[in-house]
Structure 1
């Protein structure tokens, strides 16, 4: 099958009228252009042009071939130029996969600012606590916490790993008391991630950097950290949650620490995308937005972030 680059070379040489002029316009040595045309003729098995040092003339086959190929070459050139133009200004769709409760901690005002800055960009959020398939679902960027799999994708940390602490509402503590030890948690309602048994295992680091494992259970469970936070605020039990999620509630007195000398190490938040090479400009600008706004845990607690309900 003929090389499309050779066909394009043939068309450009004919339009320039000579190999010398084509060489000057294209910045390619004339002997290289001649060699490419000769290779095309060899692949087609027919002579397309008669040429001398400074002039050329199409054969009848060359005239037919030029007529059939010119529009296609122009279309390819136009498509290439359009793609290059697209990446001069952010435009097009950015498809983002994020947890179901993403907008509880990512301010919609940040997106308002982003879309106002780049009026040709559209953003589509796929919110789910399941792990999106970036390729099959055509995801440009995914937010992921926890330990990342070695998937071959590029990952960029946007929120450093903090610590998880145990919290409960003042009303719950007033009714049930404060657990004095980790073992005492067995006598309390603890808010755990969804499991049919209503039970969970908390691996917690305590004084002296010693790690302990405690079995907990309760009557409420949920599949998002925000669901557990809201249950804690409602007085349904003790929750083990990221400090970035509860710090405002602790400051406001809506939640109180439980066994504050114990904590669990978090995993932070990463942005994952298929490759960092040849990213569409709109995707690059969105990543810059996220890095700017979520560059530290304190970014989640600024006045610009709305209080979670």
Structure 2
């Protein structure tokens, strides 16, 4: 079997015109180069070059072999240089798996800013509520809520367990009033995930840090957070939402915090990726950028005064 290193050495000797010059550029002794070329000729069972004290001359076989190999060797060298240079500049494709409604509450402006800052990076988002198979789908990064369960992969926490809060639309509160105690929620329409008995139990931490619970019900339920948020915006009731999802609506006055002293600890968010070894710079930069963006985004804005 041919030794690819010997082929690369042969191409470099031809390029620089002598063993001495090629040896200087490659950082190996000239006699080592000469011996490796002789080994290549022995493997091929043909003479590739004529040696003299003045110069090297390619044989016909050497000319044909060089013509076939030079481009391939140069291509491999260029690829190597790009990877080595890319170690300082993020580049390449990053495939990201996330939920179908990811961009409903993660601003697209973050992506635009990232791509503007790193023009050699391409992002391919695979959005689905199904759990992505990182290996089969060639996923570089996946956003996952809750505790890490894929022990075969590497995970990093983006957001710790967050404090979900109660919100409702100003129109709903104007019609039904503002609850002043947790138990008052029993008299309100509350939006939650479907429950077989028609009632959901909300366990929240009180302003004093004591866990309290209340059974709530309503006329609308849904199994996605975005559907719950949109129902609250439509005035269908009071809902528990994470701050990352409700913040912009609260800031715009579309939703109002209710009983802001009560919070529910909810699952955090992590990113997972197949391996820590040789993680491409574009992938690690993407992860770090989104973590920085999310830093400080975990809290609720100051409560809005109760409606009259």
Judge which range, 61-70 or 96-105, deviates more: 61-70
Q: Deviations over 1:206-226 (max 9, x none)?
A: 688776787765442334323
Note the C-alpha offset of 1:126. 2.8
d(CA) in 2 for partners of 1:116 and 1:203?
43
Q: How does 1:104-253 map to 2 (within 5 A)?
A: 104-169=104-169, 171=172, 175=176, 178=179, 189-193=189-193, 204=204, 218-246=218-246, 252=253
- Where structure 2 has 5 or more consecutive residues not aligned to the other structure, the ranges are 302-308
* Contact 1:198/1:219 (8 A) holds in 2: no
SS at match of 2:66: helix
Residues 43 and 223 (structure 1), Cα distance of their counterparts in 2 relative to 1, 3 Å cut: farther
Could you say which residue in structure 2 is the equivalent of 1:304? none
Q: Measure the CA separation in 2 of the matches of 1:46 and 1:218.
A: 87
Bigger Cα displacement from structure 2, 166-175 vs 229-238? 166-175
Normalising by structure 2, report the TM-score.
Answer: 0.71
- 1:179–1:259: 8 Å Cα contact kept in structure 2? no
Asked if the contact 2:49/2:57 (under 8 Å) is kept, the reply is yes
Residue 26 (structure 1) shift: 0.5
Q: Matched residue of 1:222: which SS?
A: coil
Instruction: Provide the residue aligned with 1:4 in structure 2.
Output: 4
**1:271 Cα deviation from its structure 2 partner:** 3.0
Q: Secondary structure at the match of 1:20?
A: helix
Q: 1:197 to 1:125 in 2, by over 3 A?
A: farther
Cα distance in 1, alignment partners of residues 39 and 195 from structure 2 = 67
Q: Classify 1:54/1:287 alpha carbon distance in 2 versus 1 (closer, same or farther; 3 Å).
A: farther
Q: Which residue of 1 aligns with 2:306?
A: none
Residues 166 and 260 in structure 1, CA contact (< 8 A), matched pair in contact too: no
Alignment correspondent of 1:26: 26
Contact 1:168/1:255 (8 A) holds in 2: yes
Number of equivalent positions: 300
Please give the secondary structure, in 2, of the residue aligned with 1:272.
strand
Q: Output aligned runs, 1:36-115, within 5 Å.
A: 36-37=36-37, 39-41=39-41, 43-44=43-44, 48=48, 62-82=62-82, 90-115=90-115
Shift of 1:116: 3.6
Contact kept in structure 2, 1:160 and 1:267, CA below 8 Å: yes
Q: Which residue of 1 aligns with 2:258?
A: 257
Distance 1:33 1:145, change over 3 A: farther
Secondary structure at the counterpart of residue 297 of structure 1: coil
Separation (CA, whole Å) in 1 of partners of 2:33 and 2:215: 75
Contact 1:233/1:255 (8 A) holds in 2: no
The answer on whether the counterparts of 2:105 and 2:244 sit within 8 Å (CA) in structure 1 is no
When structure 1 is superposed on structure 2, of 86-95 and 126-135 the one drifting more is 86-95
RMSD: 4.4
8 Å Cα contact 1:181/1:259 also seen in 2: no
Conserved 8 A contact 2:162-2:298: no
User: Which consecutive unaligned segments of at least 5 residues does structure 1 have?
Assistant: 302-309
- Judge conservation of contact 2:178–2:258 (CA < 8 Å) in 1: no
CA contact (8 A) 2:167 2:255 kept: no
